[in-house]
Amino acid sequence: MATIYRFGPFELRLAERALLCDGQIIKVGARAFDVLVALIERRDRLVDLDELFNLVWPGLVVEENNLAVQISALRRALGSDAIATVRGRGYRFTAQLQPTTDPDAQQPPLGPAFAHDHAAIALLQFEPGRWHVAGLLVAQHGGTVQPGNSPERAVARFPSCHAAAACALRFDSDSGICVAILSPTDLPAPDGASGAEQALLAAVRRASPGSPVVSAGVADRLTAGLDGDLEDIGTDPDGDSAPPLRLFRLQRVQAAPSAPRVASAALELRPTVAIIPFATSDSSDQGFGIGDVLADQLTSLLSASALLNVTSRLSTSNFRNRRTPLARIAELLSAHFVVSGSCWRSGDRVTASVELADARSQSVLWARTVSDSHAAVLQHDSTLVLELANGLARAVVAAEIHGTRVQAFPDIESHTLLLGAIGLLYRLSHGDFTQAHAALQALHARVPRHALPSAWLARWHLFRVVQGWSDDRDADGRQALAFAQRALDIDPDSSLALTMMGNVHTSYLKDPDAAERFYEKATQLNPSESLAWLQWGNARSFQGDGATALAHAERAVGLSPLDPARHFYQSILASAALAAGQFERAIDAAHASVRLNNDHVSTHRVLAIALSLSNRLDEARVEVRRVLELEPSLTVETFIARSPGARSGLAQKFGTALHAAGLPLSRSSIQSTEVEKQ
């Protein structure tokens, strides 16, 4: 949409990002320009401080006086009467405005604008007289609302899935408003407006006031525990949308008891640092930018220090492009220090402005602005990266980082391709998982002498087996072994490659003793490698050492509390608790995993075993039926044969528990039962 706003002698051109007075360009800073646009586009109301910070400084921890500085700059340029202040609340644009808009850019309620890949669309169904309430809340969350095809419905568009979810959760059970939210990725491109409308109508039937539903495409972009609690409610068996939508119920985050502290003196004594992806003009709700790459480099460098705990990048990435309060970030990530900032390009130069905040005192301890060549972001030993990394380390522990073996990618496109592939690998749909494989293969072909693509390809093949998506488990196991070995050949000190090789020895070669040696070396090289701790705990479970298994799994969850694969972390935690004989803990963790992904077959197996061993056989039988829906060929015999826990006797014990809950002993017993039924 080509929009020009005119007021008095001034002209604001959005497409050109230019402010003119009597035809002459007035120089204003980029932040001041964004503040002005935000106020003009919301000129019919007061814009509160939090909303302005979310719009202008997404994902950053910013002092309130920064906004006051930008407002002062605008008043110097426009005059003191253009912007009114409501002290302590916010600002409002008060000049008389005449917008000039390209009429061809207007969109129908469910037209082509729905295809914008950074947006979410919602159908609101409400009781008579609720239209005003709905429209007001949508506008407060940056959305637009239009009447639907009937008086009791409205269609709302939002700039992101986060904004849509936040708005939906504002409609409580007394509002009389039902909400269903979809992402454009949930629909085939040719369906257009009719497909979107059909899907929304099918989805809203599953919603109720105070209990909105979201599609899998939206759920993939939300963070359970941060944006809300998600519950997998499956597809609508009576729905007429094509293809059928997988839906999740969205609820407000419920207060939960604090997670058990990790029983490790070394971990407790080290401060925890969380590095939030830096805000940039080239990043978006889905696409990665140079700020993600820089945060990734700093995470890798600081993780090499034995003096620090560094939160997994897979957890910190949930805060990209958000303005979450510092205290909330620290609470969710159990972090003592939070690193945030922004970076931008100018020609062949890149500038990064980074600050370190103490979560306990809410104060900024250290700040630095550094410029270097654009390629410096990709080099772990560049002035840009090292100055920031060393400055951050000194500010936290008064010591320098002594180096790392991380190898830089040859271009930013390769690095962001890796970040995107990892995100797709842990999505909820089989299609995204397949796309992750294609992306990793392309990256492997582009940078064949880099260890990380091979390591993640090994992970992909193992995950394929775990999910039950493999049509040849042995072939996938051999592929995983080959990729893990290639990654180690390239970089013998890659903690991720060592973790993947350990995983191969646990799940494919069934040699947990050898696996432990790989996990131990991985955690020595990188004490913050959460996946290594998780898989080490898994190996200890199979060996019957439940206490150590549970300690390692808890440590992994503590290092990556908001991991995109949180259902997988909770599943391994449940297995560890099961091996430790803590059946109620295992049941709780398995239920937490199933709520996030109801199609993870190994979680249902663990849950069935824990319920059976707790003498809750009726519930255990329900879980075994779900296991057989997901993996119809499973028997006690095949479960024991492929379990790495056969040597410790756990597989036999758990197989007996599964049989008591209704799992057939063997294929022959299934056939005998079928004959008897005939």
CATH number of domain containing 563: 1.25.40.10
Q: Helices (DSSP H) in 121-242: which residue ranges?
A: 131-140, 161-168, 192-204, 216-219
Domain match, 397 and 276 both: yes
For 494-512, give one letter per residue: b (16+ CB within 10 A) or e: bbbbbbbbbbbbbbbebbb
As a whole number, mean pLDDT of residues 490-497 equals 88
Last residue of a domain, one of 220, 251, 282: 251
Domain match, 245 and 359 both: no
Structural domain tally of the chain?
5
Given a cut of 80, whether residue 504 has pLDDT beyond it is yes
Domain match, 505 and 595 both: no
Domain match, 316 and 444 both: no
CATH number of domain containing 189: 3.30.70.1230
CATH number of domain containing 64: 1.10.10.10
Torsion of CA 550, 552, 558, 564, to 10 degrees: -90
Q: Is residue 256 part of a domain?
A: no
What CA–CA distance (Å, rounded) separates 430 from 480? 19
Higher pLDDT, 661 or 363: 661
pTM here is 0.69
Residue percentage of the chain with pLDDT more than 90? 19
Q: Residue 433, SS3? A: helix
Q: What pLDDT is stored for residue 190 in this prediction?
A: 44
Instruction: Please provide the DSSP assignment of 573-594 as one string.
Output: HHHHHHHTT-HHHHHHHHHHHH
Q: What pLDDT is stored for residue 550 in this prediction?
A: 94
Domain match, 445 and 490 both: yes
Domain match, 118 and 95 both: no
Q: Is residue 612 part of a domain?
A: yes
Domain match, 385 and 324 both: yes
For 132-146, give one letter per residue: b (16+ CB within 10 A) or e: ebbbebbbbbbbebe
Q: What pLDDT is stored for residue 672 in this prediction?
A: 52
State pLDDT tens for residues 605-623: 999 999 999 999 999 999 9
Q: Is residue 260 part of a domain?
A: no
- Scan for tokens 């401060």, then name that residue: 271
Q: Is residue 302 part of a domain?
A: yes
Q: What are the residues whose beta carbons fall under 8 Å from the beta carbon of 622, sequence distance 6 or more? A: none
Last residue of a domain, one of 101, 124, 150: 101
Neighbours of 398 (CB within 10 A): 8
State pLDDT tens for residues 93-148: 888 876 444 433 333 344 333 433 347 888 888 876 666 667 777 877 778 877 77
Given a cut of 70, whether residue 515 has pLDDT beyond it is yes
Q: Is residue 261 part of a domain?
A: no
Beta strands in 288-417 (DSSP E): 309-310, 337-346, 349-358, 363-373
Q: What pLDDT is stored for residue 615 in this prediction?
A: 94
The total number of residues written for the chain in this structure:
678
Low-confidence winner among 42-46, 376-380, 489-493, 672-676 (lowest mean pLDDT): 672-676
What CA–CA distance (Å, rounded) separates 453 from 425? 13
Given a cut of 50, whether residue 412 has pLDDT beyond it is yes
Instruction: Please provide the DSSP assignment of 108-120 as one string.
Output: -TTSGGGG-TT-E
Q: What are the residues whose beta carbons fall under 8 Å from the beta carbon of 201, sequence distance 6 or more? A: 123, 241
Given a cut of 80, whether residue 281 has pLDDT beyond it is no
Q: Is residue 257 part of a domain?
A: no
Angle formed at CA 99 by CA 96 and CA 102, multiple of 5 degrees? 175
Higher pLDDT, 542 or 429: 542
What CA–CA distance (Å, rounded) separates 74 from 53? 16
Domain match, 148 and 203 both: yes
Mean pLDDT over each residue of the chain, to the nearest integer: 79
- Scan for tokens 């020895």, then name that residue: 505
Q: What pLDDT is stored for residue 421 in this prediction?
A: 75
Domain match, 274 and 371 both: yes
Q: What pLDDT is stored for residue 399 in this prediction?
A: 29
Q: Is residue 146 part of a domain?
A: yes
Domain match, 16 and 63 both: yes
What CA–CA distance (Å, rounded) separates 109 from 193? 9
Higher pLDDT, 129 or 28: 28
Last residue of a domain, one of 191, 223, 251: 251
Is the separation of the CB atoms in 202 and 240 below 8 Å? yes
As a whole number, mean pLDDT of residues 73-98 equals 83
CATH number of domain containing 346: 3.40.50.10070
Q: What are the residues whose beta carbons fall under 8 Å from the beta carbon of 489, sequence distance 6 or more? A: none
Domain match, 483 and 586 both: no
**pLDDT level of residue 586 (50, 70, 90 thresholds):** very high
**pLDDT level of residue 54 (50, 70, 90 thresholds):** confident
Q: Is residue 446 part of a domain?
A: yes
Strand 272-275 with 246-251, pairing: unpaired
Residue percentage of the chain with pLDDT more than 70? 81
Q: What are the residues whose beta carbons fall under 8 Å from the beta carbon of 537, sequence distance 6 or more? A: 548, 549, 550, 551, 552, 553, 555, 556, 572, 573, 576
Strand 309-310 with 272-275, pairing: parallel
What CA–CA distance (Å, rounded) separates 88 from 48? 9
As a whole number, mean pLDDT of residues 577-599 equals 92
Q: What pLDDT is stored for residue 342 in this prediction?
A: 85
Name the residue range of residue 373's domain.
267-408
**pLDDT level of residue 413 (50, 70, 90 thresholds):** low
Low-confidence winner among 123-127, 213-217, 650-654 (lowest mean pLDDT): 123-127
As a whole number, mean pLDDT of residues 216-220 equals 86
Domain match, 303 and 352 both: yes
